[in-house]
Each structure stands twice: as structure tokens, then as C-alpha cells.
């Protein structure tokens, strides 16, 4: 395995050097000295701001245009960061209320101070978005605040936040305009009683009854936040299962864990209509396959049935950029659209709608533009649901392995048999590894654990380098750590674990 990885790395390095020398004579060297930008990025989210910084680091004159007034995109402003802040705060409250006493830590009473909790979240967001402005200054990225639209493949007209208009020119333009909430027919989001994730991150009162439409990432994370703070949470999901991308066995255990936390699920169910004419919200539901209707009452309804690419007002049609049926910009493996000099990355193109994937896109796209070799492998983008326990996964699910017809082995290890998990009394979950039977090469890793989102990266690296389960099992892991469960699951894949 080690040999294979080394050879691959060497090949990549050679490729990178080769393409650099090929393009350096006719790529940006030729463009240097011009007043135009080498790279213009529209959108300052994880895709756009990372692309802009990387471009500047590669010596390209770069401008980033962002309409929001702060950098970081959906992720920092109304996505990853505020949701993780609230997940952490609500978890602390829940632990203080339900678990501290068993660890010998007692309070006369514990209460939620919602404005303080929101204040902590807002502080985290403000610090991080300001931090990116600092990174732009440090790397000499020019930042234009305003709404950008194409007037030609090399010119973007910007209605600036100050009220003026300016035209930003670039030899290469990267579209990184991200995504927006997918609305459902007949359901109008008012961000008060019918909220998107943005509204759910800023509620001023804890709803008594929260109905979540969609059992995906947002529904389960935000449902967890409000459930821990005291809401009665019902999740209505059209599909037969929660989080369809998850390994079915892990998903089943995950659903049980959430149900123990009193989250209710109505699967194979669709919302037919919502009525907001009274004090609360009345939902009419129907089985997904059709049948008898029922009703459900809520104080707040969260619409979290997916996100859709955002290209509104961008003028893509004006310059002839092709999109697919659901509005995603079509790009080739170098992130180039069908229009010369126009690229696209992140949520606005096909692939997982995740911040770390957008960042990888951004770096690789700019490396290609600079004549280097970029690298993103969408099959190895980890997914993490930041509930408690968290679920993290990379590579193939057992269902996918079966579908490709490979002979495989499964190794599992429960956290109930992991000493660290027992020591801290937080042992719900497991590690599951799938490996090819003949070669023992790891095909997929699935972890449900309190810190699965951190544990998964050992597995991501293993898959990236084509490791076998024996490679992980023979790697010394510190004791007592949750990571030892991965080692034991690896042992169970090709041989036997020690501690069970
Ligand atoms: C509630 C929530 C929680 C999430 N949690 C996670 C998580 O934990 N981990 C994770 O990996 N992902 C998470 N995501 C997904 C993540 O936020 C996105 O995948 C990521 O932000 C995509 O990055 P992007 O740069 O492609 O687009 P975005 O972050 O959407 O950024 C695009 C930017 O472009 C700007 N823009 C759009 N059009 C124009 C224009 N014409 N001119 C100028 N500016 C424009 C927008 O204002 C926006 O700031 C979450 C999403 C949500 C909604
Ligand atoms: N932890 C994270 O990485 C994280 C957190 C939040 C959001 N995100 C990203 O944001 C994106 C959007 O999140 P999301 O949770 O809205 O989407 P999602 O795609 O994760 O889940 C949407 C769910 O809604 C269901 N659904 C669709 N239409 C429905 C309907 N009419 N009625 C009932 N259910 C319906 C789908 O079957 C699916 O299970 C995700 O794709 C994810 O990549 C990631």
C-alpha cells in the first residue's frame, strides 16, 4: 500500500511540474503587467474566498465581489458556523440539565438565556467573517462589496453597496455564488412562523412545537438544537429514511439515538399544505404514496428540504453559460464552463453541497487557471451530521458496495467497548469499515460517536492513500482514545478485534 501511495504522489508531483512548465510561457506570465485582474471571483463564501486567497498566493491579481456585506458566504454567516455554535451551546445546556449530576456536578437549577446564547453565536460569526477580511488584506485580494452580474465573459458589472456601479474586468472569472433554500410549493417562508435555516438560527423564543420538513442535515441539526432547548420536535420526511446518503445500518442506529432524545419522525409523508391563518401553524399531511390526510399543529415550521443553486440576476444567459435542469452550472473536470475564461465552483455546480468541498473546488480551480495541477476527489469528501452523537462517513456505504458487485468484508466496533467512551460515559455509537475482500483495501468508513466529525479524518486519509484495513490496525493508536475504536474495527475487518 505504502508503495502504491508513494508512486501516485510522485506521479502527481511530476504532472504538476510538467503542466507548470508547459503553461508558464503562455499563461499568466504573458498577462502580467495588464491592469485587469487575472482572476475575478463572484461570491465570497468558502468556495469564493478560498479561491481568491489561493489565487493571490499564486501571484495572480485577484478581486472578490460579494453582495452580502460580509465575507464567508452561507457557511459563516447563516450556515455551518452559527449552527455549530447553537449545537454546542444547546448541548452544554442539555448536558448540564440531564448528565452533569451523574458526574457529581450539581446545580440548584439550570436555565436557558436565549439572547445570551444567540449573542455567543453572533460573536463567533462576526469574529470569523472579520478574520477573512483580514486574510484578504494580508494576501492583497481586492474586495468589492456589491451585486455582480456579467456584461461579457470578462467583465462584471457591480451594483455596489454604497449605491454606485463599477465594472470589474478579469481574464478569468470564477462563479462562486452558492445556493439558496429550496422552497416547497404552497409554503411561503416568512422567517417568523415558517422559517428556513436562517430563521431557525435566529428564533427569539423557544417554540413549544417545532415541525421540521426534511430529515436531512439541516432538519436533524436544527431539530436537535431546539429539541435540546425544550421544543417538541416532529420531523416530516418524504423519503422512507432519514439522511438518504448514510449507510443504512448506521442510519438505523442514528435514528434510534435521535428518537431516544424524543425527536419524532413521520417518514414516507408529505406536507400537502400549511395554514397560518390562526395563532399557530396547521399542517395537512398525506402519505407519500397517497392516502388519508392528517393534520399536525406547530408553533414554528422549519423548511429544510434541500438547497438550490443561486444564480439569480447573474446574467449567465447573457454570456451563454450552460446550466443543467436544476440550474447547476455545468463544468468540466477543470471547473471550466462552456464559455472561455468562465469557471464555477462550490454549491453552484454538481457535487456535495458542503463547505469543505467548495474550498477544495476553489483551490483546484485556481491551480488549473495558474497552469498547475489541481486535485479534488468527490468520492472522498467526508460528510458529517453534527448532532449528538455525530455521524461521519467517507467512501462507500454497504449498499453502494453491494451495488458495484465487489466481494467485501465488514469490520465493526461499538463504542460501548471503547475505554475512553466508557470513562466519559458517552458510549453510544460504532465504527463500521467496509473493505474489499481480496485486497483488504478500505472502501468506506462510517462512524457514529460524540466526536465522529473529528475521528473520520484518519479514515479520509486512509482512503485517499488507498490504505488497507490492516494498515490502520497495525498503526499504533494512543490509549485511551475514541480513535482506538477505528483501529479495533479495522482489526475486525481482516481478523479479530481484541476488546470485544
Ligand atoms: C444551516 C446550514 C448549515 C450548514 N452546515 C454545514 C456544515 O456544517 N458543514 C458543511 O460543510 N457545510 C454546511 N452547510 C453548507 C455550506 O454552507 C455550503 O456548502 C457552502 O457555504 C457553499 O459554499 P459556496 O462558496 O459555494 O457558496 P456560499 O457559501 O453560499 O457563498 C456564496 C456567496 O456568494 C454571494 N453571491 C451570490 N450571488 C452573488 C452576486 N451576483 N454578486 C456578488 N455576490 C454574490 C452570496 O451572498 C454568498 O455570500 C450548511 C448550510 C446551511 C444552510
Ligand atoms: N453538517 C453539514 O455538513 C451540513 C449541515 C447543514 C446543511 N448542509 C448542506 O446543506 C444542504 C441542504 O440541507 P438540507 O437539510 O436542506 O437538505 P438535504 O438534502 O440534506 O435533506 C433534505 C431532505 O428533505 C427531504 N425532502 C425533500 N422534499 C421534501 C418534501 N417535500 N417533504 C418532506 N421531505 C422532503 C429529502 O428527502 C431529504 O431527506 C445539504 O445538501 C447539505 O449538504 C450540510
**Model confidence pLDDT, tens digit, residues 268-327:** 999 999 999 999 999 999 999 999 999 999 999 999 999 999 999 999 999 999 999 999
- Give this complex's ipTM: 0.99
Query: Which residue has a Cα nearest atom 25 of ligand 2?
Result: 214
C-alpha span between 242 and 289 (Å, rounded): 17
Do 63 and 161 lie in a common domain? yes
Q: Residues lining ligand 1, judged by CB closer than 6 Å?
A: 42-48, 65-68, 73-75, 79-80, 83, 147-148, 176-179, 197, 218, 310, 313-314, 346-347, 353-356, 358, 386
First to last CA, the chain: 28
User: What is the Cα–Cα distance from 434 to 214, expressed in whole angstroms?
Assistant: 28
Q: Residue 137 is placed in which grid cell?
A: 488584506
| Nearest-atom index, ligand 1, CA of 48 | 25
* pLDDT range class, residue 4, cuts 50, 70, 90: very low
Q: Which ligand is nearest to the CA of 75?
A: 1
From the list 69, 382, 329, the residue with the least C-alpha distance to 176 is 329
282 alpha carbon – ligand 1 mean position (Å): 31
Predicted confidence (pLDDT) per residue in 380-396, tens digit: 999 999 999 999 999 99
Residue 21: the pLDDT is: 30
Q: Round to whole Å and give the CA distance between 291 and 378.
A: 39
430 grid coordinates: 460504532
Give exposure, 249-271, as e/b (b: 16+ Cβ within 10 Å).
bbbebbbebbeeeebebbbebbb
Give a yes or no: residue 47 inside a domain: yes
Residue 208 belongs to what domain range?
A: 194-305
Which residues neighbour 233 within 8 Å (Cβ) at sequence distance 6 or greater?
Answer: 210, 211, 212, 223, 226, 227, 262, 263, 264
Are both 295 and 213 inside the same structural domain?
A: yes
Chain centroid to CA 171: how far? 30
Final residue in a domain of this structure, among 305, 333, 359 = 305
CATH of the domain at 422: 3.30.390.30
The whole-angstrom separation of Cα 494 and Cα 473 is 9
- Give residue-wise pLDDT tens across range 32-46: 333 599 999 999 999
Ligand 2: which residue has its CA nearest to atom 37?
A: 239
Ligand-binding site membership of 12 (annotated): no
Task: Judge whether 479 counts as a catalytic residue.
Answer: yes
- Give the CATH number, domain containing residue 200: 3.50.50.60
359 falls within a domain? yes
Alpha-carbon gap, residue 192 to 199, rounded angstroms: 7
Of all helices (H) and strands (E), which one includes residue 179? strand 179-181
Are residue 169 and residue 201 in the same domain, yes or no?
Answer: no
CA of 425 to the centre of ligand 1 (A): 36
pLDDT surpassing 60 at residue 5: no
Cα separation, 368 vs 374, in Å, equals 6
User: Does the C-beta of 271 come closer than 6 Å to ligand 2?
Assistant: yes
Euclidean distance between CA atoms 188 and 386, whole angstroms: 28
Q: Into how many domains does the chain fold? A: 3
Q: Is 102 helix (H, G, I), strand (E, B) or coil?
A: helix
Strands of 200-330 (E only): list them: 209-213, 232-236, 264-266, 269-275, 281-287, 294-298, 300-303, 307-309
**Cα 308 to Cα 182, 327, 331, distances in angstroms:** 5, 8, 17
Q: How many CA atoms lie within 13 A of 397 on its CB side?
A: 14
Domain boundary among 248, 278, 305: 305
Q: Tens of pLDDT along 406-462? A: 999 999 999 999 999 999 999 999 999 999 999 999 999 999 999 999 999 999 999
Indicate if 176 and 198 belong to the same structural domain: no
Query: Do 328 and 280 share a structural domain?
Result: no
205 and 150 in a common domain? no
Whether residues 280 and 335 fall in one domain: no
Q: Is position 457 annotated in a ligand binding site?
A: no
- Residues 291, 201 share a domain: yes
Alpha carbon of 138 to ligand 2 centroid (Å):
36
**9 within a domain of the structure (yes/no):** no
The reply, when asked if residue 356 is annotated as ligand binding, is yes
Measured in Å, residue 168 CA sits from the centre of ligand 2 at 35
- Tell me which of 274, 305, 336 is where a domain ends: 305
Question: Do 164 and 212 share a domain, yes or no?
Answer: no
- Interior CA angle at 268 toward 296 and 397, to 5°? 135
Is 156 domain-assigned?
A: yes
Residue 439 half-sphere exposure toward CB, CA atoms < 13 A: 10
**Residue 41 contacts residue 63 (beta carbons within 8 Å):** yes
* DSSP per-residue letters across 181-238: EPP-TT----SSSEE-HHHHTS-SS--SEEEEE--SHHHHHHHHHHHHTT-EEEEE-S
- Asked if 47 and 175 sit in the same domain, the reply is yes
* Whether the CB of 179 sits within 6 Å of ligand 2: no
pLDDT at 7 over 60: no
Contact present, 437 and 408 (Cβ < 8 Å): yes
292 is in an annotated binding site: no
Structure confidence at residue 35 (pLDDT)? 58
Amino acid at each position: 500500500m505504502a508503495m502504491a501511495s508513494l508512486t501516485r504522489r510522485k506521479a502527481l508531483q511530476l504532472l504538476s511540474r510538467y503542466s507548470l512548465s508547459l503553461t508558464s510561457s503562455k499563461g499568466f506570465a504573458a498577462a502580467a503587467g495588464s491592469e485587469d485582474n487575472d482572476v475575478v471571483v463572484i461570491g465570497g463564501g468558502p468556495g469564493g474566498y478560498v479561491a481568491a486567497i489561493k489565487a493571490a498566493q499564486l501571484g495572480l491579481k485577484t478581486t472578490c465581489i460579494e453582495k452580502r456585506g460580509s465575507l464567508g458566504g452561507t457557511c459563516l454567516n447563516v450556515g455551518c458556523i452559527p449552527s455549530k455554535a447553537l449545537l454546542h451551546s444547546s448541548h452544554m445546556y442539555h448536558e448540564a440539565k440531564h448528565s452533569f449530576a451523574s458526574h457529581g456536578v450539581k446545580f440548584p437549577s439550570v436555565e436557558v438565556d436565549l439572547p445570551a446564547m444567540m449573542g455567543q453565536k453572533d460573536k463567533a460569526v462576526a469574529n470569523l467573517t472579520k478574520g477573512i477580511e483580514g486574510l484578504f488584506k494580508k494576501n492583497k485580494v481586492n474586495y468589492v462589496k456589491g451585486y455582480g452580474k456579467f456584461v461579457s465573459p470578462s467583465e462584471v458589472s457591480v451594483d455596489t453597496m454604497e449605491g454606485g456601479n463599477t465594472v470589474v474586468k478579469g481574464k478569468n472569472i470564477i462563479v462562486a455564488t452558492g445556493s439558496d433554500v429550496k422552497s416547497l410549493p404552497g409554503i411561503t417562508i416568512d422567517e417568523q412562523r415558517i422559517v428556513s435555516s436562517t430563521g431557525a438560527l435566529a428564533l427569539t423564543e423557544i417554540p413549544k412545537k417545532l415541525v421540521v420538513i426534511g430529515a436531512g442535515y439541516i432538519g436533524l441539526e436544527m431539530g436537535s438544537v431546539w429539541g435540546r432547548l425544550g421544543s417538541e420536535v416532529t420531523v416530516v420526511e418524504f423519503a422512507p429514511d432519514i439522511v438518504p446518503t448514510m449507510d443504512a445500518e448506521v442510519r438505523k442506529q442514528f435514528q434510534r439515538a435521535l428518537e431516544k432524545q424524543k425527536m419524532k419522525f413521520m417518514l414516507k409523508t408529505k406536507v400537502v399544505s400549511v395554514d397560518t391563518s390562526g395563532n399557530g401553524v396547521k399542517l395537512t399531511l398525506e402519505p407519500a404514496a397517497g392516502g388519508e390526510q392528517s393534520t399536525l399543529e406547530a408553533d414554528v415550521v422549519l423548511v429544510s428540504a434541500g438547497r438550490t443553486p443561486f444564480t439569480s440576476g447573474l446574467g449567465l444567459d447573457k454570456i451563454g453559460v450552460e446550466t443543467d435542469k436544476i440550474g447547476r452550472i455545468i463544468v468540466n473536470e477543470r471547473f471550466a464552463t462552456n464559455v472561455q475564461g468562465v469557471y464555477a465552483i462550490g454549491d453552484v455546480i454538481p457535487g456535495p453541497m458542503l463547505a469543505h468541498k467548495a474550498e477544495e473546488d476553489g483551490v483546484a480551480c485556481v491551480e488549473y487557471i495558474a497552469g498547475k495541477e489541481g486535485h479534488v476527489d468527490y468520492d472522498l469528501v467526508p460528510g458529517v451530521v453534527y448532532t449528538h452523537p455525530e455521524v461521519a462517513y467517507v467512501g462507500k456505504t454497504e449498499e453502494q458496495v453491494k451495488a458495484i458487485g465487489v466481494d467485501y468484508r465488514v469490520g465493526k466496533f461499538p463504542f460501548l467497548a471503547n475505554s475512553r467512551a466508557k470513562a466519559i460515559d458517552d458510549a453510544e455509537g460504532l465504527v463500521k469499515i467496509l473493505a474489499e475482500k481480496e485486497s483488504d483495501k478500505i472502501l468506506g468508513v462510517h462512524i457514529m460517536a460524540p466526536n465522529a466529525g473529528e475521528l473520520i479524518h484518519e479514515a479520509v486519509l486512509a482512503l485517499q492513500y488507498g490504505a488497507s484495513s490492516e494498515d490502520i490496525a497495525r498503526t499504533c493508536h494512543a490509549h485511551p482514545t475514541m480513535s482506538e475504536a477505528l483501529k479495533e474495527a479495522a482489526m475486525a475487518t481482516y481478523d479479530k478485534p481484541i476488546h470485544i
